Every structure is written in structure tokens, then in C-alpha cells.
Chains A and B, each alone.
Chain A
Amino acid sequence: MDYQAHHNIDSLIVRCREGDKEAYHQLYKLYSRAMYNVGYRIVNNADEAKDVLQDAFISAFNSLETYRGDAAFGAWLKRIVVNKAINLVRRRKFERMPETAGFDVKEEETVDELEGYPFTVEKVRKAIEQLPDGYRVVLSMYLLEGYDHSEIGEILGITESTSKSQFNRSKKKLKEILEGGLL
């Protein structure tokens, strides 16, 4: 995002703090689609993704006073969406991340198992949707939301190495889905 866009967002935030309804709507229009998709990838369900989006924006707008501008507004908002979505998945018995000693071993030299695979956005998106919650969350957060393993560990309450191992497993599972004709 360039300087002008940042400046516009900053001025929208100032207007929101002054109680300008139109500014709230502008902020919503700027971020709602991206945030809806972030939530959707975690909860994997349109209705719940809608609830997450709603809750996250209501929380964010009511906490604008606490947003200090040290992180980009989009990153701050995304973190709220991710937390709301993960809480929702946890409530429906999110599979516990395995915490065995085996996960702390040095990362296996993974070969690129999907090299040459004819990816399409639609195929990859559908395959990710078929992953179990625990795999899908880590894979989406790493590959699509841009978090690193230490951040994922912090958000999910697991170790960094567990996040790495879970990610490798989720990629293997994704390969099975893509190559196994399970779409």
C-alpha cells in the first residue's frame, strides 16, 4: 500500500474517532472482502465467516481508540479476524495440535512433491477446504495470510516447530487430495 493510501486510511480513522459514520463505512468497504476471505479460510463455512466478519468489525470499530498506529491498520484488523475465527473453530472442538517430541527434530528436507502439478486457483482453494481444521488453519495462515511460524505458534498457542511440522503434514495431505482425484 503506497503512502497516499496509508494517509487516506489514517484520515479515515481520525474521522471514525470523531464519530463519522461514512468513514466507518469507507473503512468497511476497503477491508471487508479481504477480511471475509481470511475468516472463511479458517472457519471453512460461509455462515460462520459472516459472523466472524461482523464480530471482528464491531470489535475493531469499538476499539479504534486502542489502535495506536504502530502496525498497519490492515494487519491489526486481520489479527482480530484471525483470533475471532480461531476461537470459533476451537469452540467446535478444534483438533488439538499434536505436541510430541518428534516435532522438535530437525526439519526433514522436503522435496517439492508437487513440482510440475497443473495448479489452478479453484483446485487449490477446494483442496485447502477439504483439509482437516488443524491442517487447513496452519497452511492458510502460512501460505495465504503471510504469518511466519513463530507468529502462528503465538496465535495458536503451539511451538514454532509444531507449526512447521503441522505445515509439512498439511502439504502432504493437500498433495494427496490434489493427486488423488478427491476433488
Chain B
Amino acid sequence: MKDSLGKFINENREEFDSQVPPESVWNKIETALPKASKQIFWNSVTFWRAAALILFGLSAYLVVSKNYSRPNKQEIAEIQGFNDLETYYSSQISEKMDMVHRYQTSTGLTEDEITQNMKKLEAMYLVLKDEMKRRPSQDVRDALVLNLLVRIDLINQQLNKLDKPEVGKLADKKIQS
């Protein structure tokens, strides 16, 4: 069907928007603008990320500064030995985490509490590591090693759980009944 009206309107579409809204409309809209900016800020991910980092940083600082003293020669030697430990444990963690991810992808499982805890521990580790660079001490070194060991332990638990899903389900059922 030929449609000369439709064609005419298409060709002159912009001219059909000839009415101009009264100035007063904006004034009313302005008075009703959402006052949610504060709420949005408190709910924002950025805010909570920053808050978590400050909290971790503060905790690390309090732990470290409690027994803070300048490191002696022996401590410096121990701290240097930490780099080897870190390399070893980090490679273990990354290897085992790869296994966990592969397992989760192949079984269609999503992240659970353990993987979330892993992420929290990793964030805490970065804060402690920073502290280690700025003010190396035996306490921070111990905290870093402990963090690595706890993460390895968590991954092992996760791998065991993924390895025996049926056992886990059965145990859950028993608990429920």
C-alpha cells in the first residue's frame, strides 16, 4: 500500500515536535528530585569496599603496632627468608585454586562460602603485605604465614567436599532428619 501521509510525516518528522513545554515544568520537577543521593552513597559498593579496607588496615595496624619495635638483625634475616615461604605457599594456593575453579565449572557449582572467605583472606593478606613492606617485623611475618596456611587448609577442605558431593548431601539429609 502506498502511504503518502506516512511518507510525508517521516520526511518532516522533526517539525511535528513544534510545541514547546512551559518553563515552569522544570521548577516543579526540580522540587521533586530524588533525595536519595546520601542513601545511594551508603549503599554503594565503593563505600563498602573502602570501609572494609580501612577496617582491615586498622586491624593490621593495631596488631602490629602493639609490640612494635625496630627489627633487629636476626629478624631482618628471618623476614628475608619469608620471601621463599611466600613463593612456595602462593604457588600451592594458585595450583589448588585452579583445581577448585575447574571442578566448579565442570559441575556447574557457583561460588560458596569457602570461596568467599578465600577472597576476604586474600584481601587481608594484601593489607598485611603492605605493612610488611613499610614496617617489617616478626609479628607481621607470622600473620602472613598464618594467612597462607589457613587459605591452603580452606582449599583442601573445599577440594575434599567437591570430591565427595554425595557424602556431603547424605550428611546434610541426616542432619535435617
Q: Does B174 contact A (CB under 8 A)?
A: no
Main SS at interface, chain A: helix
Known: A18-B37, A19-B40, A61-B34. A124 touches B5 (CB 8 A): yes
The answer to whether A17 touches B18, judged by C-beta atoms less than 8 angstroms apart, is no
The answer to whether A144 touches B29, judged by C-beta atoms less than 8 angstroms apart, is no
Task: Provide the bound-state CA to CA distance between A46 and B36, in Å.
Answer: 32
- Taking the closest CB of chain B, its distance from the CB of A41, in whole angstroms, is 8
The answer to whether A171 touches B5, judged by C-beta atoms less than 8 angstroms apart, is yes
Q: Does A110 contact B (CB under 8 A)?
A: yes
The answer to whether A18 touches B21, judged by C-beta atoms less than 8 angstroms apart, is no
Task: Provide the bound-state CA to CA distance between A124 and B21, in Å.
Answer: 21
Mark B1-32 against chain A: 1 for CB-CB distance below 8 A, else 0: 11111101100110111111110111011101
Other-chain contact of A112, B3, B9, B18, B40 (Cβ < 8 Å): B3
Q: Does A114 contact B (CB under 8 A)?
A: yes
Known: A112-B3, A119-B8. A32 touches B16 (CB 8 A): no
Q: Does A115 contact B (CB under 8 A)?
A: yes
The answer to whether B8 touches A28, judged by C-beta atoms less than 8 angstroms apart, is no
The answer to whether A61 touches B2, judged by C-beta atoms less than 8 angstroms apart, is no
Task: Provide the bound-state CA to CA distance between A24 and B34, in Å.
Answer: 10
- What is the number of residues of chain A that contact chain B, defined by CB distance less than 8 Å? 39
Q: Does B175 contact A (CB under 8 A)?
A: no
The answer to whether A110 touches B37, judged by C-beta atoms less than 8 angstroms apart, is no
The answer to whether A114 touches B19, judged by C-beta atoms less than 8 angstroms apart, is no
Q: Spell out B's residues near A (CB within 8 Å).
A: 1-6, 8-9, 12-13, 15-22, 24-26, 28-30, 32-38, 40-41
Q: Does A53 contact B (CB under 8 A)?
A: yes
Mark A9-32 against chain B: 1 for CB-CB distance below 8 A, else 0: 000000001110100110010001
The answer to whether A33 touches B4, judged by C-beta atoms less than 8 angstroms apart, is no
Q: Does A101 contact B (CB under 8 A)?
A: no
Question: In the complex, what residue of chain A is closest to B29 when comparing beta carbons?
Answer: A57
Task: Provide the bound-state CA to CA distance between A53 and B21, in Å.
Answer: 8
Q: Does A111 contact B (CB under 8 A)?
A: yes
Residues of A within 8 Å of B24, CB to CB, are: 50
Q: How many residue-residue contacts, CB under 8 A, span A and B?
A: 97
Other-chain contact of A21, B1, B22, B30 (Cβ < 8 Å): B30
Q: Spell out A's residues near B (CB within 8 Å).
A: 17-19, 21, 24-25, 28, 32-34, 36-37, 40, 46, 49-50, 53-54, 57-58, 61-62, 64, 109-112, 114-117, 119, 121, 124-125, 143-144, 171, 174
Residues of B within 8 Å of A21, CB to CB, are: 30, 33
Question: In the complex, what residue of chain B is closest to A62 when comparing beta carbons?
Answer: B34
Task: Provide the bound-state CA to CA distance between A144 and B14, in Å.
Answer: 10
Q: List 10 A-B contacts (CB under 8 A).
A: A18-B37, A19-B34, A19-B35, A19-B36, A19-B41, A25-B30, A57-B25, A64-B34, A114-B4, A143-B5
Question: In the complex, what residue of chain A is closest to B32 when comparing beta carbons?
Answer: A58
Question: In the complex, what residue of chain B is closest to A142 when comparing beta carbons?
Answer: B6
Task: Provide the bound-state CA to CA distance between A24 and B35, in Å.
Answer: 12
Other-chain contact of A111, B1, B12, B18 (Cβ < 8 Å): B1
The answer to whether A144 touches B13, judged by C-beta atoms less than 8 angstroms apart, is yes
The answer to whether A119 touches B40, judged by C-beta atoms less than 8 angstroms apart, is no
- Taking the closest CB of chain A, its distance from the CB of B53, in whole angstroms, is 21
Residues of B within 8 Å of A111, CB to CB, are: 1-2
Residues of A within 8 Å of B34, CB to CB, are: 19, 61-62, 64
- Taking the closest CB of chain B, its distance from the CB of A128, in whole angstroms, is 9
